Amino acid sequence: MLTGKRILLIIAGGIAAYKSLDLIRRLMDQGASVRCILTKAGAEFVTPLSVSALSGEKVFMDLFDLTDESDMGHIRLSREADLVVVAPATADIMAKMAGGHANDLASTALMATDKPVLIAPAMNVEMWNHPATQRNAATLASDGITLVGPAAGDLACGEVGQGRMVEVPDLIAAIQERLARATASLPLAGKRALVTSGPTREAIDPVRYLSNHSSGKQGHAIAAALAAAGAQTTLVSGPTSEPDPAGVTIVKIESARDMLAACEAALPADIAICAAAVADWRIAEEAGSKMKKNGGTPPPMAMVENPDILATLSQATDNRPRLVIGFAAETNDLIDNATKKRARKQCDWIVANDVSTGTGTFGGDENTVHLVTDDGVEDWPRLSKTGVAEQLTSRIASWLADRDT
């Protein structure tokens, strides 16, 4: 139920921190990835080594860790999660959250996050019952934070009452419920998306191939943005060194024909976006063994045309996605060629980008695109590829919303 979900777990300083180690394992068993922030007090109860060994990730502890901060550590940490969980949540961290403090990594990440937050309070019964804690709990609940527990029972301090951190299975159930609620409210909840990305490789012989410079950055960013907007997303990707985007089903292929088969297997979909740089041609007959130099004469290499995935999806009579979007990679007459390509392939929208030498479109982190639709041509400003992906996703969500209401 948690496949592809990213949890940021903040472990504060309480005896119940030992349960968080089990929580990490159980979350990962369910397919989630878990990044942890361990507070100074938390590190008195569990070691950074055990947390990192279980999560398989670096443990974040210090706001002023230069390497991470130069990379916007706390902002990225809190944004690159689907849910922030504080377990155990001590009286102190609750007070900081309620008061809006930001003086260490945990409190700063909690202030910087734009994601839902769930906390599992754990403390002595009198601390829990203290009017200040009760006031803070009410403030946090009214701020939209989900409180799970505390449960009643024997407490580590020897007293009995409400203050135990809830057991791990109950915490997992609450995390699942909170994530399901968060997903249901996203703009593309319930929609299915298919994205192609990266280059294809067309074999010449067992050791050589034809390909191009696509890095997969643009296509992968689109898949990530669609998934973050709640779409159930399949990414069909040629060989790239881009990391797999979270929350996306990824199908890795080599050739154009593999890509077409994988796309057809991923249907039905509401949205299809073809950002891959598919080889237009392949060698007519792939050699079964490594081709040898032949007395200085290069071997003849007849080519045949590959199937056109974008055109196939656009012109399908069965299972045509409601919105099919292509890209046009051009080195000259960008808008004119893109407009003709849209008409020829019969996709709904085309995203035109200039791939001439020096633009950095292939492999770079930024892109300047023009959106060609029935309504005309929109020139977008130069954006990061993530920015292009987010803007396109938001256009798709409005287009679907207009037609579904």
Integer Cα distance of 17 and 43 in angstroms: 9
Query: Applying CB under 6 A, which of residues 108, 353, 386, 393 lies at the interface with ligand PMT?
Result: 353
We find the least distance from the C-beta atom of residue 204 to ligand PMT, in angstroms, to be 18
The beta strands (E) that lie in 21-105 are given as 33-38, 59-60, 83-89
Query: Does 263 qualify as catalytic in the annotation?
Result: no
- Does residue 392 touch ligand PMT according to CB under 6 A? no
393 binds ligand PMT (CB under 6 A): no
- Options 157, 263, 274, 347, the catalytic residue: 157
Per CB under 6 A, 280 contacts ligand PMT: yes
Task: Indicate the length of the chain as a whole number.
Answer: 405
Single residue of 155, 228, 275, 397 touching ligand PMT by CB under 6 A:
275
Q: Between 42 and 219, whose beta carbon lies closer to ligand PMT?
A: 219
C-alpha pair distances (Å), 390 with each of 103, 166, 226? 31, 37, 8
Does 46 engage in binding with ligand PMT (CB under 6 A)? no
- Please report, as residue ranges, which positions from 296 to 325 form the binding site for ligand PMT (by CB under 6 A): 306, 308-310
- Rounded least distance, CB 71 to ligand PMT, Å: 21
Nearer to ligand PMT, 170 or 366 (CB): 366
Q: How far apart are CA 166 and CA 171, in angstroms?
A: 6
**Contact between 363 and ligand PMT per CB under 6 A:** yes
Distance in Å, CB of 321 to ligand PMT, minimum: 13
Residue 112 CB: number of other CB atoms within 10 A?
16
Task: Give the CB-side neighbour count of residue 65, counting CA atoms within 13 A.
Answer: 15
Does 133 bind ligand PMT (CB under 6 A)? Our answer is: no
CA distance 213 to 229: 29
Residue 329 in contact with ligand PMT, rule: CB under 6 A: yes
CB-nearer residue toward ligand PMT: 299 or 360: 360
DSSP 257-277: HHHHHHHHHH---SEEEE--B
| CA 126 – CA 280 distance, rounded (Å) | 71
> Cα 301 to chain center, whole Å?
41
Pattern of binders to ligand PMT over 237-266, x per CB under 6 A? -------------------x----------
- List active site positions: 157
